[in-house]
Amino acid sequence: MFAEKKKAFSLVELLIVISVIALLIAVLLPALALARSQSRNVICKSNLRQLFLANTGYAIESDNYYVPAAPDITSAQGGRYRWHGVRESPDEPFDPTKGPLAAYLADGKVKQCPERVNFVTGRQWNSNFEQGCGGYGYNHIYLGSRQWQEKSYLNGLQTNRPGWETTKTTEVSRPTETLMFADTAMSNNQSSLIEYSFAEPPFWVYKGKPETSFYLSPSIHFRHQSRANVTWADGHTDSQLMAQLDENNVYGINSTAMNLGWFEPIDNTLFDLE
């Protein structure tokens, strides 16, 4: 009697199966990466929405004034108080649980942007000065202070403490077109990013008017496939495409190369109240 032949794949058939599997992986991996990126984008927008709600809650309990961005930043002992946290000295990390928005945020902390940004950690605080803001920045000139006003007032009286006075919700005439929070970062070397808690407009504001003779260092970070997420003063959140602008920041770093810049129009229109 003859032994029964066992069925098996030929080498050619095995190579064909391996090739098909490899092709499927090559097709599916980019789609999977895109799906994960989109998922992180959704979570990021949710984080920004929570910051909007926290700032709104703060304003409701503060006579409609938004949270101060950095009220002591110009003082001799400045750098201890931010919208996202407080610290005992400029050499220490911020404690988010003592920040002005802590009562309005889950766990009292600003959630970290889920997009994989390799922010520098553990460096001296004089070069990593905003760690703790989660990779998000606040419209400090137009909402978190009254820098936009020629003179600062508090309860109708002129004051010399412009950092502590902020904008009232009722003063924002275009809430759908006034940035409140956005994806932000800063680069002080060409190879890394640090957290930065301010969404800088293109132009500094002096005595109520934009200084258009020079650009500020851009801090809007276009980390979501060349887009940045933004929450506006009416609470809606969207993504903005990075505009073309080849500028070095105050540290001499090419901002575009680090995905830092602004969206159109490159002026203060979408930061301003009017």
> What single string gives the DSSP state of each residue in 173-202?
S-GGGSEEEEEB-EEEETTEEE---B---S
Q: Are 228 and 262 in contact (CB under 8 A)?
A: no
Predicted confidence (pLDDT) at residue 32 exceeds the cutoff of 80: no
Task: Report DSSP state, residue 160.
Answer: S
Beta bridge partners of 206: 209
**Higher-confidence position of 7 and 74:** 74
Q: What percentage of the chain reaches a pLDDT higher than 90?
A: 53
Average pLDDT over residues 228-239: 97
Predicted confidence (pLDDT) at residue 36 exceeds the cutoff of 80: no
Predicted local distance difference test score (pLDDT) of residue 93: 79
Identify which of 173, 203, 188, 179 has the alpha carbon closest to the alpha carbon of residue 266.
203
DSSP state string for 9-68: --HHHHHHHHHHHHHHHHHHHHHHHHHHHHHHHHHHHHHHHHHHHHHHHHHHTTTTBPPP
Predicted confidence (pLDDT) at residue 238 exceeds the cutoff of 90: yes
Predicted local distance difference test score (pLDDT) of residue 154: 47
- Of the candidate ranges 148-152, 198-202, 242-246, 255-259, the one whose mean pLDDT is the lowest: 148-152
Tokens linked to 263: 């969206």
What are the structural domain ranges in the chain? 12-261
Predicted confidence (pLDDT) at residue 196 exceeds the cutoff of 70: yes
Identify which of 187, 215, 188 has the alpha carbon closest to the alpha carbon of residue 201.
215
Average pLDDT over residues 120-138: 79
Predicted local distance difference test score (pLDDT) of residue 157: 46
Predicted local distance difference test score (pLDDT) of residue 155: 47
